Structure 1
């Protein structure tokens, strides 16, 4: 199980080399830490965020405990039984999809529980392992290829292979805290730092990047000046929720404020965002599967009212499916920095006194072909009264933002929008 290519001098494209380019900003890891990277694209209807492994696309899932892969039906006969990995998998049981007792006790063949995220359904399947490689982004051709001889993965259940959702790929990469997620396997088997970081792509910049093993991460300003992007990080603690039905990542939020020229806090008590440690309900979870930030109904209604007030007299029109509040895009002015001029910004007040502000990711442009017009819709969704969490931070709100999950320190780091950093801190050059 040797790691191939232990010293990496990565010059990884991250985002936004120039205002007219679709390239990504240079980031470099000059440490002796082991690292590996993969590109990210956003594709499909509804869209998902895919990272590239083995030259194939895998959907990123912060909640999933396993790498999902296609297995041939004879794999249990030509592979040694993964007893130790099976014990690890069974030590971290799924609360939503528990294994039957006899399957928990059996190690060969090894059965594991998978949660299909769209929708949340339970499946039991075999644990296997395969050879994997990553095309590391070095800024030069050819790319460096980093190979791993043995990565444990769960076989895609046969009942899912023929469904429409799995025609695209059917493969997921699990990024949770579980012992057989990709970050955990890289740390335990290949001595990576137990952290990963990514920037999600957007319509404006269609390529993102994810990498494992830690920074520093550099962005290039005028005259070849390098700045470690971690100087722009704001950190907050990741919270434990042992009774949640997912193994995802939670952060503490105390308030939400909305406004254009002046922020106004929505009229919701701070306790509305808390995790109920008796039931596992509530809390604020981060997701790469949920596209738009979703709020429990009591929070959403207050959010919608404040958002509408912040539109300062703009008249809403009939909303389209999924969205609740839409406006004619012709009544708004496009902002060259992204989004619309006058569109409200949304600020999360975090539990440690820090703030996370969304500027250009608060409204989504929607094209209505049947009547040939364009809408600008509030990119926040009503999750209903019985939603498990108080709030799920969606992937759209994280686009063009560099985020880091440090699983040792149990902290979450995020930057402002990288495009805005480029505009206000200098020009990014190749």
Structure 2
């Protein structure tokens, strides 16, 4: 059945070249990535086919979450789906019973330690259906509030997903109605794709006007204008680490270097990669070390009053902002270089800030690298080899995440 379901999956992609955006059909498992700036924080989505109506596949935008254990979205669970039974403009799917293996497995394989989450029970049923449903907890990435969703069989977004109330998506950007799981969970989207699930490649755009790209499956990957250069030649690799109670992706950072001076990172420190918040957070002790050093090497720049949530800002009304790189030293001598486009956030015409945030004295993980630092970087998560590939800024290669040439990319 799963193999038949896979045949229904269609992914749309957009090629951006010389300021022209052309919609085309491309082989499955390649998708555009859109940046949304109309919510409380920038977020990134992929278009997902969610239903088949009047001989057409319909799609909606889902947030990219590389930590979520399963996909969830705004939909309705019904036990007897037939033509005309689903309310207009709604997606209806079949329920998973609390007595089924998938219900037990999903609940056992993850846990949200959010105090607002209610206990998951087996007391609910659907009208006319003789079995209990399978409530699971989902956490809203915008508000961190917890809602209960019903586990279901979804033939489009993944074999197992969950239906959440419409209110769960109320704070999302416009035209975004769900969360797509791209984690290492067996219920995340990469696992749904079977044999090609071993690699997830992600390139987040820096502008909402030009999309980036997401691949599931091996490359090669090509960029314009260097259409004969495989992006993988730009990558350095470091091991992906496992972390208890999480399906997310973790790496080891040995130290943070700013202009040849190292800021100590304790040996037991975990570094998480996240797609749901914009700015890298550092535990207070690490953050203070980074800010002190960065302030010292930029002391000739005019400082400005800090703008929350940042602690170090500069006046850019008259001075050009030239700052040193911030380097994450990784195992085996690998270096992830964070250059000015990924370290400085322009707040207004007159103020720019160091785009790192104090995560608190007890924050765990101590370092979380987030999306502003990802933009226009090519990232590759190889689940088979447990490695993480990173390019540092593609702008130094005179290209960006908006410049993928799908026509030269081999189908997985």
Instruction: Give yes or no for TM over 0.5.
Output: yes
Q: Deviations over 1:360-388 (max 9, x none)?
A: 21101112xxxxx5211111111111222
Partner of 1:344: 324
Aligned length: 365
Q: Deviations over 1:2-53 (max 9, x none)?
A: 23389x9x997677x55xx3769xxxx9xxxx85122111112321111111
**Cα pair 2:72 2:164 within 8 Å, conserved:** yes
Greater Cα offset, 250-259 or 83-92 = 83-92
Matched, 1:362 2:362: no
Partner of 2:251: 251
CA distance in 1, matches of 2:96, 2:397: 50
CA distance in 2, matches of 1:252, 1:377: 26
Partner of 2:52: none
Partner of 1:116: 140
Partner of 1:231: 233
Shift in CA distance, 344/84, structure 1 to aligned 2, threshold 3 Å: same
**Cα pair 2:330 2:336 within 8 Å, conserved:** yes
Shift in CA distance, 358/96, structure 1 to aligned 2, threshold 3 Å: same
| Secondary structure of 1:215 counterpart | coil
CA distance in 1, matches of 2:234, 2:367: 25
CA distance in 1, matches of 2:151, 2:12: 34
Unaligned runs of 5+ in 1: 133-147, 276-282, 334-339, 368-372
Shift in CA distance, 217/128, structure 1 to aligned 2, threshold 3 Å: same
CA distance in 2, matches of 1:11, 1:216: 19
**Cα pair 1:284 1:392 within 8 Å, conserved:** yes
CA distance in 2, matches of 1:205, 1:258: 32
Q: Deviations over 1:220-244 (max 9, x none)?
A: 556xx512211111111111111x4
Q: Give the CA RMSD over aligned residues.
A: 3.4
Shift in CA distance, 157/352, structure 1 to aligned 2, threshold 3 Å: farther
Partner of 1:135: none
Task: Note the C-alpha offset of 1:399.
Answer: 0.3
Partner of 1:145: none
Shift in CA distance, 325/80, structure 1 to aligned 2, threshold 3 Å: closer
Task: Note the C-alpha offset of 1:170.
Answer: 4.0
**Cα pair 1:291 1:395 within 8 Å, conserved:** yes
Equivalences for residues 187-266 of structure 1 within 5 A: 187=194, 191-203=195-207, 206-221=210-225, 226-242=228-244, 244=245, 246-259=246-259, 263-266=260-263
Unaligned runs of 5+ in 2: 50-58, 82-93, 126-130, 408-412
Q: Deviations over 1:102-149 (max 9, x none)?
A: 549x994222222223333333221113343xxxxxxxxxxxxxxx7x
- Aligned match for 1:41, one of 30, 34, 42: 34
| Secondary structure of 2:240 counterpart | strand
Task: Note the C-alpha offset of 1:171.
Answer: 0.9
CA distance in 2, matches of 1:356, 1:170: 34
Q: Deviations over 1:312-353 (max 9, x none)?
A: 4112111122121111112432xxxxxx4x222110001232
**Cα pair 2:220 2:231 within 8 Å, conserved:** yes
**Cα pair 1:38 1:211 within 8 Å, conserved:** yes
**Cα pair 1:64 1:115 within 8 Å, conserved:** no
Shift in CA distance, 269/200, structure 1 to aligned 2, threshold 3 Å: closer
TM-score (norm 2): 0.78
CA distance in 1, matches of 2:336, 2:210: 23
Matched, 1:63 2:67: yes
Equivalences for residues 399-414 of structure 1 within 5 A: 399-414=375-390
Matched, 1:299 2:286: yes
CA distance in 2, matches of 1:11, 1:417: 26
Task: Note the C-alpha offset of 1:89.
Answer: 1.2
CA distance in 2, matches of 1:65, 1:362: 30
Q: Deviations over 1:264-323 (max 9, x none)?
A: 222x2442xx24xxxxxxx11001112011111111111101111121411211112212
Partner of 2:370: 394
Partner of 2:313: 326
**Cα pair 1:62 1:174 within 8 Å, conserved:** yes
CA distance in 2, matches of 1:410, 1:39: 25
**Cα pair 1:41 1:49 within 8 Å, conserved:** yes
